Amino acid sequence: MNIRKLILQGEGTTLDFKKTITSNEKIAKSLVAFANNKGGQLLIGVADDGSIKGVKSEDEERYMITKSAHQFCKPAIEPEFEEIYVDDKLVLIVKIAASDTKPHYALDEHKKWWAYYRVNDKSILASKIIVDVIKRSAEMTGTLITYTDQEKKLFEYLQLEGRITLKQFSKLTRSSYRQAQKIIVNLILSGVIKPVTSEKEEYYVTA
C-alpha cells in the first residue's frame, strides 16, 4: 500500500485520519459510520492536515480500537489492522468493511446508542430516514415503486424548487411524518431521489 498516496487523497467518505485515539465513544462513532456506509479506513498516527505523526504505542491504540468496536458498537464490529512505517514512524491502518448486519449504533458518553453515517469527511448522526434506508438496504434486493398523487406532487415540487425536506413533503401532501418518511425511504432505495445530509439539515433532491 502506498500510504503517502492514500494520505494525499485527503479525508473523505472512506478515509479518516486520527492523530491519536482519545476516547472510545469518538472512535466508535467513526467505526459505525464506516460500517453503515461503504466501509473505510482509519489512519491512526496521521493528523487532520495529513502530516504523519506516528503512534506512540501500537498495542495501546489497537486495544482501544478493539474495545470500541466490541463494547461501544452494536452490533459489534470486527476491524482489521495493518502496520506501516513511514520515515521510522508507525501508522496503524484500521480497515472497516461495509457491514451486512447494519444498522450499527455507537454508545455515546451519556450511555445512549446512536446510528451514524459517513457523509464526505464527517461521521454524521443518521436521521430516522437514513436509519430506515440503511436497515432496508441491508435486507432487500429491490424496491417496487408505484407512483401515487403524493409521489407526483413530490416530483413537481422538486422540478420547481430543486430540493425538499421531510417537513415540506409532509405539508405538501397533507400526510403524517410517518407516511411521508415511508415514501421518501422507498424513493431513495429505488434510486429516484437522494438525501443531502449535513450536521445542520437534511433534504432530498432528484438522483
Q: Per-residue pLDDT for 129 more than 60? A: yes
- The verdict on domain 3-126 having CATH code 3.30.950.30 is yes
Amino acid type, 174: R
Using 50, 70 and 90 to split pLDDT, how confident is the model at 138? Answer: confident
Categorize the per-residue pLDDT at 137 as very low, low, confident or very high, splitting at 50, 70 and 90. confident
Using pLDDT thresholds of 50, 70 and 90, give the confidence band for residue 169: very high
* pLDDT-derived band at 2, boundaries 50, 70, 90: confident
Strand partners, 144: none
**What CATH number matches the domain at 138-206, 3.40.30.10, 1.10.10.10, 3.30.70.1290, 1.10.600.10?**
1.10.10.10
pTM greater than 0.85 (yes/no): yes
Asked if the model's pLDDT at residue 143 lies above 60, the reply is: no
- Judge contact between 48 and 10, C-beta under 8 A: no
- CA–CA separation, 20 and 62 (whole Å): 11
Q: Of the given ranges (40-49, 70-79, 133-142), which has the lowest mean pLDDT?
A: 133-142
Domain residue spans of the chain: 3-126, 138-206
pLDDT of residue 144: 62
**CA–CA separation, 196 and 97 (whole Å):** 23
Contact 172, 153 (CB under 8 A): yes
3-state secondary structure of 2: coil
Distance CA(162)–CA(67), nearest Å, equals 44
